[in-house]
Structure 1
Amino acid sequence: MADTGWVSVSAPYVRPRRPGEPDAWAEEAAQQGHVGTHRLRDVEEIRPPRDVAEALGLSPEGTSIVRRRLVLLDGRPTELADSYYPAALARGTRLAEMRKIPGGALAMLAELGYRPHSAEERVMARPSTEPEQQALDIRREDWVLVLTRVLRTSEEAPIEVTVMTMVADGRELHYQMIINEGA
């Protein structure tokens, strides 16, 4: 297979980090010689978009806690990441607070007894919106890739839906899966 540049793997992003371990984005960016960071933009309880509510198994009146982040590469915006959690699960925890979570949200979920077991991802491309253009510092004619990831427990209970909106600057989205037959 020819070298296609930076190939990202989803597995580090869907498992809780161990104490003292860097977050998955910081680690991946460092492996490529860059600095990857996040800026928390907002945390609030809302009625999520319909597709997110359905993925979380919420009623039409149901609410979720959303943590909105700006993902940066070497200080430049590269992605918007909005993570949604059922309000009944997240309310009253650090997931609902406007501050970083030691070890990350997945570590917090695991502490609460909701360990991620499976992940499903969907990707689509579409024209960017004006707020995305401003946040990502892109042009009006630029398109974005939207990757939606749903995490579930071993009992199939949905615990997190993350919607990642990134610049579609001609890069190929490449998936690779390694099957662990011994597991």
Structure 2
Amino acid sequence: MSDTGWADISAPYLRPRRPGDPDAWTAEVEAHGHVGTNQLRDVEEIRPPQAVADALRLGPGDTAIVRRRLVLLDGRPTELADSYYPVGIAGGTRLAEARKIPGGAVTLLAELGYRPHKVEERVTARPSTEPEQAALALRPQDWVLVLTRVSRTSAGTPYEVSVMTMVADGRELRYELSYRDQPAEG
């Protein structure tokens, strides 16, 4: 929830999970009678794309840990999700290991002291690339939606950039905002 009292439907994906709870994606789709899973495709230290490096405030020689996942809905590929973390935050942690993280990355990040205070999301649409077509079972003429999320601490430090490339198959990408009253400052 922001300082103005607004909350959106991305919030569950930003909250740490309790021990034993499924990740937010699994819980959301199970609530609708489906099965949601993630396949970890790769974890590596790289020089990220320039837009990600800029969002993480990385210098010219700085690297990041990227965790690449294939998101499945009822066994069908629906999204490619790449999450980037500065090496100074992720290096030497489970974020840098090629295995699943209990409770997901947001839970581990919270344990490390990184909780979202400000989150920015940007959505774009574009034609799919050949690697996306292969991974998501798309045709060359198919388009994708790309949601880029930047998470920052209360001090404004960016600690995670997630780039989610989704099948744009006519389903809508919907945002829902709700207002919650907060005491007046004064």
* Superposition TM-score tier, normalisation by shorter sequence: over 0.9
- Residues 34-183 of structure 1 aligned to structure 2 (within 5 Å): 34-182=34-182
Q: Unaligned stretches of 5+ in structure 2?
A: 1-7
Contact conserved, 1:106 with 1:116, CA < 8 A, in 2?
no
Give me the TM-score of the superposition, normalised by structure 2.
0.91
TM-superposed CA distance for 1:89, in Å, is 0.8
Give me the TM-score of the superposition, normalised by structure 1.
0.93
Cα distance in 1 between the residues matched to 2:178 and 2:60: 37
Please name the residue that 1:5 is paired with.
none
| CA RMSD, Structure 1 to Structure 2 (Å) | 1.2
TM-superposed CA distance for 1:182, in Å, is 2.6
Q: How many residues align?
A: 176
**Counterpart code for 1:69:** R
- Greater RCO structure (CA 8 Å; 6+ sep): 2
Q: % of aligned pairs identical?
A: 71
Please name the residue that 2:10 is paired with.
10
Contact conserved, 1:71 with 1:80, CA < 8 A, in 2?
yes
Contact conserved, 1:149 with 1:162, CA < 8 A, in 2?
yes
Cα distance in 2 between the residues matched to 1:164 and 1:174: 15
Cα distance in 1 between the residues matched to 2:137 and 2:117: 35
Per-residue CA deviations over 1:47-104 (Å, capped at 9, x if unaligned) read 0000000110101221000000000001110000000000111000000000011111
Q: List, as ranges, runs of 4+ consecutive aligned residues in structure 1 with deviation greater than 2 Å.
A: 179-183
Q: Unaligned stretches of 5+ in structure 1?
A: 1-7
